[in-house]
Amino acid sequence: MFYIQESTCISSQSTFLNKINLLEYQVPEGNKFSVKEPSYEDIPEKILRRMGKAVRLGVGAAMPLIAGSGNPDGIIIGTANGGMEDCIKFLNQIIEYKEGLLTPTNFVQSTANAVAGQVGMLLKNNGYNITHVHRGHSFENAMLDAAMHLAQYPDARLLLGAVDEISAYNYNIDLLAGWYKTTAINPAEIYKSDKPGSYPGEGSAMFIVDNKKQQGSVRIDALKTITSNDPQLVRHRFHEFITLNNLQNDPPGLYLSGENGDSRMMHFYEACETQIEKVPVARFKHISGEFATASAIGLWLSAEILRSQEVPVHMWKHQQPNPMATQRHPLHKILIYNNHKALQHSFMLCSIDL
């Protein structure tokens, strides 16, 4: 499909630029995986103070990549909710000011395409600029868009990414719908719970992608999305994905599972995991929490793992390989499965040439 050349990530852990430390896991406070926001040195202060949180996260993750690689030929972002917090603020202003003179900032920052638009304006970029808003498939559809764009324009270089925040509005609705746990986070119990609900998260991951194979570049080999609440259909589609990509004969070195501690989704993960019994399994949502575009964090982690050839101990589920065996057989391929609200599923396959 295409290659990831550079990437950045803002999450609840130390994942941003020169402060990346995946080996140590820090337990978030309360029951939310709130991000550790950086200082945003690449965003002018006058612009930064007017930004909503989602826009800060997206633009803050994107600008360091642009500084290193130059103005991209296109900007493709995936988000489920955009700046929902600013949207609610604007709606509250309509009531408070009785539809009088309203400050436009909250309205401008509340639209889903605010991140892609803000990056484009900061860079004075007139190229392809689009935002995909498809709930749990927002980032995956952004990836498909990037793949199609690069197929049509082979020499292009794109900024691809995803961002979502924990807004009070969405959190309260999903909490009432039973999607979240209300207890404080216990790192030892996140994946052991036999009760419904997960822990809400937020974050942003950005990638510079193109068609050029370079030293250290991570290739996206395949992507598949499914919308279904039938675990047998998901199992069947997963088997098709494995067969199509010849993973029986050349299995991945790691299976990265999107498990989130919600008991209602485990039969989906188990249905897929049983088909790759000999592949070591790791998990990532104790780093990101659960949100619609968490798969972007999973992809960023996969790229970091492939480049470093090291999987943090806290990510392992079982079958942690012997270090000596890993040295003899380098990790060159990772298979990712993510599930959003037991309905939207995605399979990704990424690899690196060592």
151-180 pLDDT, tens digit each: 999 999 999 999 999 988 888 889 999 999
Element (H, E) at 352: none
* pLDDT value at 328 more than 80: no
List the CATH code of the domain at 2-210.
Answer: 3.40.47.10
* pLDDT value at 111 more than 80: no
* pLDDT value at 321 more than 70: no
pLDDT level of residue 322 (50, 70, 90 thresholds): low
Q: How far apart are CA 220 and CA 75, in angstroms?
A: 18
Q: What tokens does 208 get?
A: 């510079």
pLDDT level of residue 324 (50, 70, 90 thresholds): very low
- State the Cα angle at 107 between 95 and 120, rounded to 5°: 180
- For every residue of 142-158, DSSP letters joined together read HHHHHHHHHHHSTT--E
* pLDDT value at 281 more than 90: yes
Q: What is the mean pLDDT of residues 47-59?
A: 90
Q: What is the mean pLDDT of residues 333-337?
A: 98
Contacts of 268 (CB under 8 A, 6+ apart): 231, 234, 339, 342, 345
Burial pattern 207-221, b for ≥16 Cβ within 10 A else e, equals bbbbeeeeeebbbbb
Main-chain dihedrals φ then ψ at residue 198, nearest 5 degrees? -125, -170
pLDDT level of residue 320 (50, 70, 90 thresholds): low
Query: In angstroms, what CA-CA distances link 272 with 26, 33, 164, 242, 260?
Result: 29, 26, 27, 10, 15
List, by residue range, all CATH 3.40.47.10 domains of the chain.
2-210, 221-351
**CB of 48 within 8 A of CB of 100?**
no
Q: What is the mean pLDDT of residues 226-244?
A: 97
Burial pattern 40-51, b for ≥16 Cβ within 10 A else e, equals bebbeeeebeeb
Chain center to CA of 60: 15
pLDDT level of residue 227 (50, 70, 90 thresholds): very high
For tokens 């995956």, the residue is: 140
**CB of 178 within 8 A of CB of 26?**
no
For tokens 């609900």, the residue is: 197
pLDDT level of residue 93 (50, 70, 90 thresholds): confident
Chain center to CA of 156: 23
Q: What is the mean pLDDT of residues 58-70?
A: 93
**CB of 110 within 8 A of CB of 54?**
no
**CB of 203 within 8 A of CB of 294?**
yes
Q: What is the mean pLDDT of residues 130-154?
A: 97
pLDDT of residue 168: 83
**Is 253 strand, coil or helix?**
coil
Query: In angstroms, what CA-CA distances link 103 with 89, 96, 98, 119, 307?
Result: 10, 12, 13, 22, 46
Main-chain dihedrals φ then ψ at residue 22, nearest 5 degrees? -85, -15
pLDDT level of residue 2 (50, 70, 90 thresholds): very high
Q: How far apart are CA 81 and CA 248, in angstroms?
A: 38
Rg of the chain taking only CA atoms, in angstroms: 20
> Could you tell me what percent of the chain has a pLDDT over 70?
92
* pLDDT value at 98 more than 80: no
Q: What is the mean pLDDT of residues 64-68?
A: 91
From 192-196, 225-229, 271-275, the region with the lowest mean pLDDT = 192-196
**CB of 196 within 8 A of CB of 39?**
no
**CB of 295 within 8 A of CB of 338?**
yes
* pLDDT value at 327 more than 60: no
pLDDT of residue 277: 84
* pLDDT value at 210 more than 60: yes
Domain boundaries 221-351, CATH class: alpha beta
pTM: 0.93
Contacts of 9 (CB under 8 A, 6+ apart): 15, 16, 61, 203, 204, 205, 206, 297, 300, 301
**β-strand 218-227 against 203-210: which pairing, if any?**
unpaired
**Is 342 strand, coil or helix?**
coil
Query: In angstroms, what CA-CA distances link 152 with 1, 2, 71, 177, 211?
Result: 12, 12, 19, 42, 11
pLDDT of residue 85: 65
Q: What is the mean pLDDT of residues 142-146?
A: 98
